[in-house]
Amino acid sequence: MKIGEFLRKGLGPLEKPISEAYRAIFFDLGALILQIKRWIPGDRLKILEVGCGEGMLISRLAAAYPDSQITGIDITPSIGRMYKGDMNHITFSQQTIMDFSFKNPESIDLLIIADVMHHVPKEKHKEFLLQARNTLKRGGYIVLKDWARNKAPIHRLAYFSDRYITGDEVYYKTAEEWRGFLQEAFGRDSIKEEARIRPWSNNIAFLMQP
């Protein structure tokens, strides 16, 4: 069992507030939702979050897009465990992006990938994103948010958290590397907007239309 999982199992009813407080040290989930809503203000969308984990971001997506159909996928068996909201327009499915894209091609209006890519092996980054793109309807959007590598002390703390508490092998790109990589994967004009998400400028988000 990973260190993070072991510690969280002992928190009982305090698990969710403590987990959210810990995450907020690095990343404001609400600020990302506000940015996504500014970029994509409509509703009645089909939204997919890849790597949704236990459902903390989907809880906020459900409130921001109450008339949309939202699906979260992840390979973890605890998928959606911390989501406590209305399930009428929410679906959680334990599967890979490859499986989902094969069964649901060109079905999604908005695809969200938040703090997932640095957990994916570096050599699989392009394949992962191309599989994700296959789920999009014509004219659909991808929002990719990740942690950009730099020399700030907070980056060292983020690395320690991801590497030793989650137990994953992690790889972070710099902001410049992200721009070049995404343009190579999706085309030079694919990046429509870029934003930094509080509380740290390391949190970089891209709005793309491949």
Convert the pLDDT of each residue in 3-12 to its tens digit. Answer: 445 444 544 5
Which DSSP helix (H) or strand (E) runs through 164?
Answer: none
Residue 76 has pLDDT above 80, yes or no: yes
Instruction: Please give the Cα distance from 4 to 162 (Å, whole number).
Output: 10
Q: What confidence tens digit (pLDDT) does each residue in 144-173 have?
A: 999 999 999 999 999 988 887 777 889 999
b/e burial code for range 50-69 (CB count within 10 A of at least 16 → b): bbbbbbbbbbbbbebbeebb
Instruction: Please give the Cα distance from 38 to 88 (Å, whole number).
Output: 25
Q: For residue 97, which of 88, 107, 86 has the smallest C-alpha distance?
A: 107
Residue 183 has pLDDT above 80, yes or no: yes
Structural domain boundaries enclosing 180: 3-208
Size (the chain), residues:
210
pLDDT for the residue 78:
87
Mean pLDDT, all residues of the chain: 91
- Please name the residue that has the structure tokens 């992006």: 97
- Residue 1 pLDDT level (bands cut at 50, 70, 90): very low
pLDDT for the residue 22:
73
Whole-prediction pTM = 0.92
Residue 124 has pLDDT above 80, yes or no: yes
Strand partners, 16: none
pLDDT for the residue 6:
43
Query: HSE of 17 in the Cβ direction (CA atoms, 13 Å)?
Result: 3
pLDDT for the residue 16:
63
Q: What confidence tens digit (pLDDT) does each residue in 25-67 have?
A: 999 999 999 999 999 999 999 999 999 999 999 999 999 999 9
Domain count, the chain: 1
pLDDT for the residue 4:
46
For the domain that residue 189 is a member of, what is the CATH number? 3.40.50.150
